[in-house]
Every structure is written in C-alpha cells, then in structure tokens.
Amino acid sequence: MRIAVTSQNFREVTGHAGHARRFLVFNVDESTSINLVDRLDLPKEMAIHGFDDRTAHPLYDMDVLITGGAGEGFKQRLAQHGVRVIATGETDPETAVRDMLAGTLKLPQPDDHEAHEGCGCHG
C-alpha cells in the first residue's frame, strides 16, 4: 500500500491539501512494515487545486493520502482516482501512517480549512 502524507516542511503533517506540493510517500507491506520511499516536491502547477486532470499526477498512484485538512472538492477529486483522503490532527507523519493502519488516527482539530472559505478549493 502506498500512502502519501502532506508535509510542506517534510517533517510534519500539514493541511490545505489542495494547495500542497510536498508529500512524504510511505510504502506499507503485508507485514505492516512502514518505509519512507519518496519525497515529492512538485512544481506549483502540480498542486491539485489548479491541476489539469487530463494528464497523470503522482498522487493518483497512491492508495491513501493523509493530511491535516482538505476540502470536499479535493477529497472527491482524489476519490475519482481511487485515492482515499483522511484528515488528522496528528503532526508526526510516520505516527499518522501507523495510527491510520491501526484504526486509531487522531481526529483533526476544528477545521482550519474553514479559514480558506472562498478560495475556490471546495469545488
């Protein structure tokens, strides 16, 4: 299973996934061994918020995307490509992956995405 985690600083889980361009990519094998396998540092035009879906996107190869927050439009867009989006209040990326696998992932704090109302990322 391939799991991407939004991480603008490559150290913590960050939110506003539609505008995120940096992701940590983990691979989880059958023994639930978690390995960091990649760091995506995408150019601005690859942020999902403005991305043209007529071409491939690296996030569409993931099974799950963990983020601090995402709008419904982002979640639906990734779901169309078979990617499950999960929001969390956990800040440590590896802990977030481990907790997601165990079904104990910490819920997000009151949605800081609400501060971005009107940004167009809900559609």
Q: Is the pLDDT of residue 11 over 60?
A: yes
Q: Average pLDDT over the chain, rounded to whole?
A: 89
Do 15 and 5 meet the contact criterion of CB atoms below 8 Å apart? Answer: no
Q: Is the pLDDT of residue 52 over 80?
A: yes
Q: What's the mean pLDDT in 49-71? A: 93
Which pTM does this prediction carry? Answer: 0.87
Q: Is the pLDDT of residue 28 over 70?
A: yes
- Which residues in 45-56 are b (16+ Cβ under 10 Å) and which e? ebbbbebeeeee
Q: What's the mean pLDDT in 72-91? A: 96
CATH code for residues 2-116: 3.30.420.130
Q: Is the pLDDT of residue 110 over 80?
A: no
